[in-house]
Structure 1
């Protein structure tokens, strides 16, 4: 059986995303062991509010539900039914995923109040609030396929016209190593998805791990191309309303030690959350393909 193309972008949306990604149930929330009244945890809560994680995870849930429909259409057309829809909805439980994500941020940043303070100072500033809002608006806009396609065309046109925003977007992408980090996240997500499928029994005998890895890593070049095109389209749409000086200021923050630390923490948190999502989704897809109860 051929490996389905599965590319969930774990892009930092704050900046980012995208995607995206062992029983098929909701990803378990990681327990918070730090008292909610301590300064470190309070800062993580404040960071979550500044980054509008409620709004972000609501969009990610919509993306996941839509992706579940795409998987059904491509892998078992019309065969999912209410059970598949219910399984996908449980896997993409926004509140549970956000809880797990914030717990991962606590682990990554909770021991560094000075860095947290610097990050919060930026994202609670007028510019910080604006860029977060623009990023989430753009991510929500990308739920519409026509909007995403138009953004990709606009990105190509900016390259052709040598638009001055292009080198700024390139610098932003390089500051966060967004292409390579997303490629690594997508490959890990794809491997988790295929592992979940294997565990469902859809392949009969378990597929060897080295074969799974070979199948998944064969997609690397295509994923890198897709990731680059998606990023330039998404970021171009998100930051179009910004003055060049504002985008420059944002990039300069992301190049600071605090910005770099946030970038790494966000990628780690997204990877933790959505690798589990991908595995659960793969298991549920395999079960649906077998025609058994999810």
Structure 2
């Protein structure tokens, strides 16, 4: 799988980053409950914890960025990937960042939507999609389904996806994740190249237009598959809620947390892999 294909797949993943159900009790917890307690509950009731867990699925595609595969690292691969992408570790990272970003006002606003019946139905389908790794046959089927969408449903999905990334963060973050992984891989001796960060960013920006179009189409395919059981009116209501300025800020912060954890773990993966002789050299 090429990095460009992985970007498209990750875009689909991030397109459902924070969509989930808030439970009102999170915001009226007893006084003895700490802010950390409320954030732990936030991870559970919104599905954000499942989204964080699913970052581990991207690990096996990272070596492709340097022309390698997980098999090149032999039996050490599973151990290292499991340690670097440990669910408890990544959730703790998310909680630390959420404490510095989300305030009670944002959470309270989001609760008005996510505690609704629609919110509950959204979290059900989105949680189910987070941990599904799509094979080639399933991807082709999803693409065919998206191509056959009625115009009004396609428009509703496109509007929803646009609202999820109103600030255009996702494209920039995808480039930065690749830059950080490649630099860490070079530092770890996994490549013969001596990468320059500014040069890498310029090179990746050159293909930004094409990548942006591919990401939009991949997000549409992913959304069509994820929300196939929901009526179009629900999708319109969802998009409307996402377009509210406060909700847009919540999504911006959630995306930032997701991407920072992903980039951090990719850097750590490169460092750890540099400690192991590739299996093909043994």
- TM-score of the superposition, structure 1-length normalised? 0.77
Structure 1 residue 56 corresponds to structure 2 residue 56: no
Do residues 103 (structure 1) and 103 (structure 2) align?
A: no
Distance 1:88 1:169 in 2: 34
Q: CA deviation at 1:179?
A: 8.9
| Structure 1 residue runs without a partner (length 5+) | 17-35
Q: Which has the higher helix share?
A: 2
Aligned partner of residue 148 in structure 2, secondary structure:
helix
Q: What's the offset of the Cα at 1:14?
A: 3.8
Q: Distance in 1 between matches of 2:278 and 2:152?
A: 52
- The CA deviation string for residues 45-65 of structure 1, in whole angstroms up to 9 with x for no partner, is 33212212343334332x135
- Where does residue 61 of structure 2 map in the other structure? 67
Report the CA distance between 1:266 and its aligned residue: 0.6
1:283 to 271, 275, 279: 271
Q: Please give the TM-score of this superposition, normalised by the length of structure 2.
A: 0.80
Q: 1:126 to 1:269 in 2, by over 3 A?
A: same
Of residues 62, 72, 80 in structure 2, which corresponds to 1:79? 72
Asked if the contact 2:15–2:223 (Cα under 8 Å) also holds between the matched residues in 1, the reply is no
2:113 and 2:80 mapped to 1: Cα distance?
Answer: 39
Displacement of 1:262: 1.2
Inter-CA distance 41–283: structure 2 relative to 1 (3 Å threshold): closer
Output the CA distance in 2 between the equivalents of 1:269 and 1:77.
26
| Corresponding residue of 1:92 | 85
Aligned with residue 189 of structure 1, among 177, 187, 195: 177
In structure 2, the gaps of 5 or more residues are 20-30
The one of 188, 191, 202 aligned to 1:200? 188
Work out whether 1:120 is the aligned partner of 2:111.
yes
Instruction: Indicate the RMSD between aligned Cα atoms, in angstroms.
Output: 3.2
Change (3 A) 1:191 1:107: same
Q: What residue is the counterpart of 1:155 in the other structure?
A: 146
Distance 1:240 1:249 in 2: 15
Give the count of matched residue pairs.
265
The match for 2:128 is: 137
CA contact (8 A) 2:114 2:120 kept: yes
Q: Is the 8 A contact 1:152 1:233 kept in 2?
A: yes
Query: Contact 2:165–2:252 at 8 Å: present in 1 too?
Result: no
Q: Secondary structure at the match of 2:190?
A: coil
Per-residue deviation, 1:192:
0.8
Residues 120 and 292 (structure 1), Cα distance of their counterparts in 2 relative to 1, 3 Å cut: farther
Which of the numbers 3, 10, 14 marks the counterpart of 1:11? 14
Instruction: Say which SS state the counterpart of residue 75 (structure 1) adopts.
Output: coil
Instruction: Give the Å deviation of 1:283.
Output: 3.4
| Aligned pairs (5 A) from 1:203-282 | 203-204=191-192, 206-282=194-270
1:169 offset after TM fit, Å?
A: 1.1
Q: Quick one: distance in 2 between partners of 1:278 and 1:191? A: 10
Q: Could you tell me how far apart the structure 1 residues matched to 2:278 and 2:207 are?
A: 25
Q: What is the Cα deviation at residue 73 of structure 1?
A: 11
Aligned to 1:146: 137
